[in-house]
Amino acid sequence: SQQGEEDPQALSIQEGENATMNCSYKTSINNLQWYRQNSGRGLVHLILIRSNEREKHSGRLRVTLDTSKKSSSLLITASRAADTASYFCAIITQGGSEKLVFGKGTKLTVNP
Partner 1 sequence: GAGVSQTPSNKVTEKGKYVELRCDPISGHTALYWYRQSLGQGPEFLIYFQGTGAADDSGLPNDRFFAVRPEGSVSTLKIQRTERGDSAVYLCASSLIPGLLEVGTQYFGPGTRLTVL
Q: Indicate the SS3 state at residue 89.
A: strand
What's the CA gap between 80 and 13, in Å, rounded? 10
Nearest to 72 by CA among 95, 90, 84: 90
Q: For the chain, how are helix, strand and coil distributed in percent, rounded to 5? A: 5, 55, 40
- Pick the closer one to partner 1 by CB: 13 or 43: 43
41 is an interface residue for partner 1 by CB under 8 A: yes
Q: Which stretch binds partner 1 (CB under 8 A): 13-21, 36-44, 59-67, 73-81?
A: 36-44
103 is an interface residue for partner 1 by CB under 8 A: yes
45 is an interface residue for partner 1 by CB under 8 A: yes
Residue numbers at the binding site for partner 1 (CB under 8 A): 2, 4, 30-31, 33, 35, 40-45, 48, 88, 90, 92, 97-105
